[in-house]
């Protein structure tokens, strides 16, 4: 699958990007098919080959979220921007009890099991006492 994505160029702490068409799973600095433009995040400037972008979009190349937002800002694509921040993985709060939970509490419980004769209870308790006395 082809993707339109950013390829970083530039010095340390001075990033600038090329907008390229490449295989989705290719390496960041790997081979690309076509160079479609540039983006400088420090000055917020960009330039795109509009005809090339439209050609690749027509032929099925999918822009990444960042590139999609740049195309929206350049008015190559119309529509809302995509959010780039993912939702946190923290546990959500437990919802308050609902009416269904209250109904299940009102259902009578199953009859309790009959108790075992006292002789069986004594046999069950004896091994527990031995293990408590000899903590080996």
- How confident is the model over 25-45, as pLDDT tens digits? 988 888 999 999 999 999 999
Structure tokens at 38: 């540039």
Is the pLDDT at 91 greater than 80, yes or no? no
More reliable by pLDDT, 18 or 108:
18
Is the pLDDT at 47 greater than 60, yes or no? yes
Is the pLDDT at 54 greater than 60, yes or no? yes
- Average confidence (pLDDT) over 3-32: 93
pLDDT on residue 95: 63
Burial state string for 64-79 with b = 16 or more CB within 10 A and e = fewer than 16: bebbbbbbbeeebbee
Structure tokens at 46: 């960009």
Domain definitions of the chain by residue range: 2-73
**Assigned CATH for 2-73:** 3.30.1320.10
Report how far residue 99's alpha carbon sits from residue 102's, in angstroms, rounded to the nearest whole number: 5
Show contacts of 51-59: CB within 8 Å, 24+ apart. 53/4, 53/19, 56/2, 56/4, 56/21, 57/4, 59/2
DSSP 24: T
Is the pLDDT at 132 greater than 90, yes or no? no
pLDDT band at 62 (very low <50, low <70, confident <90, very high): very high
Percent of the chain with pLDDT strictly greater than 90: 55
CB 30 within 8 Å of CB 5: no
pLDDT on residue 85: 80
pLDDT on residue 131: 53
Helix (H) or strand (E) run with residue 45 in it: strand 45-48
More reliable by pLDDT, 97 or 17:
17
- Average confidence (pLDDT) over 74-93: 81
The tokens 């400037």 sit on which residue?
45
């Amino acid at each position: 699958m082809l993707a339109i994505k950013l390829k970083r160029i530039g010095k340390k702490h001075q990033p600038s990007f090329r907008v390229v068409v490449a295989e989705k799973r290719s390496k960041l600095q790997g081979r690309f098919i076509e160079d479609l433009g540039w983006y400088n995040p420090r000055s917020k400037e960009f330039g795109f080959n509009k005809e090339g972008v439209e050609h690749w979009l027509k032929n099925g190349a999918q822009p990444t979220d960042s590139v999609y937002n740049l195309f929206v800002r350049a008015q190559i694509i119309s529509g809302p921007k995509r959010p780039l921040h993912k939702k946190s993985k923290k546990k959500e709060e437990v919802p308050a009890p609902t009416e269904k939970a209250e109904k299940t509490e009102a259902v009578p419980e199953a009859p309790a099991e009959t108790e075992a004769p006292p002789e069986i209870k004594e046999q069950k308790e004896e091994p527990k006492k031995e293990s408590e006395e000899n903590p080996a």
